[in-house]
Amino acid sequence: MMTRIQILVLCCAISMLAAGNKPNFTGTRKADVAKSTMTVTPRKNIDPDAPPGPPPPPADMAFKMMPPETITHKEPELAIQSGANTLRLTTNGKENVNDQRIGQHKSTTRWDGRRLVTNWKIEREGQVFMEGSDVRYLDRDGKTLIQDNTVRTSTVETTSHIIWLPTE
């Protein structure tokens, strides 16, 4: 039979292992143009009153146009800098609000095992004109970041599988 101290030590060890299971995404990466993919699908049942979203970038240029991303990750805080924009997120499932050039970016981010899932929407003048999700995880090498991204506007849904390679 286990003593109370043994049970306490076991609980602490399990808790530390669970906390250590979350990867750290810190680093600067650039999109791998050759291995990243994007699909644009017209949406059915378009709401005529929905505000228009921006058109997706041309498929042959989408990943070439992406600036490198720098992620600073200190659990539960995560900052993603891409060009002049910085998104500040928390991984605890609470709502984060970031004012961006294109509108107000509202999101929630949570861990799903070793994958970080962000559901987001961008509002302009109180109306959602773009929404989507990002799932980020590290490849087996522990450095390459993979991002599965879905963006929905009033007219199209764009899905991307982006391979982010370390620049260092």
- Domains of the chain: which residue ranges? 23-166
- pLDDT at residue 82, rounded to an integer: 95
Mean pLDDT in order along the chain per 10 residues (168 residues): 52 45 96 96 84 78 92 98 96 97 96 98 93 98 97 94 94
Neighbours of 31 (CB within 10 A): 21
By CB atoms closer than 10 A (0-12, 13-18, 19+), residue 119 is middle
Model pLDDT, residue 61: 83
pTM of the model: 0.84
Q: Residue 147 has what pLDDT?
A: 98
Q: What is the pLDDT of residue 57?
A: 80
Can you give the pLDDT at residue 49? Answer: 80
Q: What is the DSSP letter of 68?
A: P
CA 136 to chain centre: 5
Report the pLDDT value the prediction gives residue 15, as an integer from 0 to 100: 42
pLDDT of residue 3: 62
At residue 148, the pLDDT reads: 98
- Select from 66, 64, 101, 104 the least CA-distant residue to 83: 66
For the domain covering 23-166, report its CATH number.
2.40.128.20
- CA-nearest of 142, 150, 147 to 162 is 147
The predicted pLDDT at position 30 comes to 97
Q: Provide the 8-state DSSP code for 114.
A: T
Comparing CA positions, the residue from 112, 69, 68 lying closest to residue 91 is: 112
| Pairing mode, strands 156-166 and 77-82 | unpaired
- Helix (H) / strand (E) containing 5: helix 4-20
Say how far apart CA 158 and CA 40 lie, in whole Å. 4
Q: What pLDDT does 2 receive?
A: 58
